[in-house]
Amino acid sequence: MRPFITAEDVLSAAHNTEFEVPCDALITPLAREEAERRGITFRVIAEKARDNRAASAAATSGQASIEKSVRVVAIGADHGGFELKELLKGHLRDWGYRVLDLGTSSNESVDYPDFAEAVGKAVAAGEAQLGIVLDSAGIGSSIAANKVPGVRAALCYDRATARNSREHNDANVLTLGAKLISPEAAREITAVWLSTPFAGGRHQRRVDKIRSIEERAGKP
pLDDT in tens, 86-133: 999 999 998 889 999 999 999 999 999 999 999 999 999 999 999 999
Helices first, then strands: H and E counts in the chain: 9, 9
Residue 76: strand, helix, or coil: strand
Instruction: Say yes or no: 184 and 89 in one domain.
Output: yes
Which residues on neighbouring strands pair with residue 24, listed in sequence order? none
Distance of CA 95 to the CA centre of its chain: 10
Average pLDDT over the chain reads: 86
Cα angle value 52/195/89 (rounded, 5°)? 95
Distances (CA, A) of 43 to 95, 176, 199, 209: 19, 34, 28, 43
Whether 49 and 110 map to the same domain: the answer is no
State residue 179's pLDDT score: 97
205 within a domain of the structure (yes/no): no
Is 168 a catalytic site residue? Answer: yes
Averaged over 132-148, what is the pLDDT? 98
The β-bridge partners of 130 are: 73
**Is 61's pLDDT higher than 70?**
no
State the pLDDT at residue 22: 84
Say what percent of the chain tops pLDDT 90: 64
Reply yes or no on whether the pLDDT at 51 is more than 70.
no
Residue 200 counted as domain residue: no
Statement to judge: residues 84 and 129 lie in one domain: yes
Q: Would you state the pLDDT for residue 57?
A: 47
Inter-residue contact 129 to 74 (CB < 8 Å): no
Q: How far apart are CA 27 and CA 5, in angstroms?
A: 5
Q: Is the pLDDT of residue 62 over 80?
A: no
Task: Tell me: do 185 and 90 sit in the same domain.
Answer: yes
Claim to verify: residue 21 and residue 53 sit in the same structural domain: yes
The pLDDT value given to residue 12: 75
- The verdict on residue 29 lying in a domain is yes
Average pLDDT over residues 169-196: 95
Tens digit of each residue's pLDDT (9 = 90 or more) over 16-49: 888 888 887 778 777 888 888 888 888 888 754 4
149 neighbors 141 (Cβ within 8 angstroms): no
Is the same domain home to 39 and 132? Answer: no
One domain for residues 181 and 156 = yes
Q: Which domain holds residue 134?
A: 72-195
Cis check: omega of the bond before 190, within 30 degrees of 0: no
Taking the C-alpha atoms of residue 105 and residue 132, their distance in angstroms, rounded to an integer, is: 15
Query: Is it the case that residue 69 has pLDDT exceeding 60?
Result: no
For residue 77, pLDDT over 70 is answered with yes
Which H or E run includes 165? helix 159-167
Selected catalytic residue, list 79, 91, 168, 203: 168
